[in-house]
Amino acid sequence: MQQTMVIIKPDAINRCLVGEVVKRFEQKGLQIKAMKMQALQPYALKEHYAHHKDKGFYGELIKYMSSIPSILMVLEGKDAISVVRKMVGSTQGREAAPGTIRGDYSVSNQSNIIHASENEKVAKAEIARLFKDEEIHDYKKMDFDWIYSRDEKYIEKAKR
């Protein structure tokens, strides 16, 4: 199974959308492996968003993301990174497709509800930056056997 990191951003918290966002991931069948509220400090955000440092919106992005705490999650599932990115939708809220989280709840470029890791290398780096090993929980969820086929579970086990 693959892990990805999600940040439920300050705009979603101010707008009382945390439950709505978490509910979508749970209902899809993704497993919550870690979840916490954390005030993201500018130094951590500068590292997280280093690839945007030359963009005009960078300064505002750091201010917005450090304005109030965020909710951080590690989600696990088969192909979790692409599954979550599809559910999140494209970056700009006004462009994001209806049915996606940003498409349904955002009309902004900046205040777009959620961040999700873009690929496996980035997911590993983001999880390592923002979570301690002991904050990520290893447990079998009761509905696991109903979420994946025997083949999907078997192939995953064979890969280990």
Give me the active site residues, please: 115
Convert residues 61-80 into a mask of x (bound to ligand CMP by CB under 6 A) and - (unbound): x-------------------
Size of the site for ligand CMP (CB under 6 A): 8
As given in the structure block, the two tokens for residue 100 are: 């996606």
Binding segment toward ligand CMP, per CB under 6 A, in 36-44, 110-118, 121-129, 131-139: 110-118
Binding mask 21-60 for ligand CMP (x = CB under 6 A): -------------------------------x----x---
Q: Which residues bind ligand CMP (CB under 6 A)?
A: 52, 57, 61, 91, 109-110, 112, 115
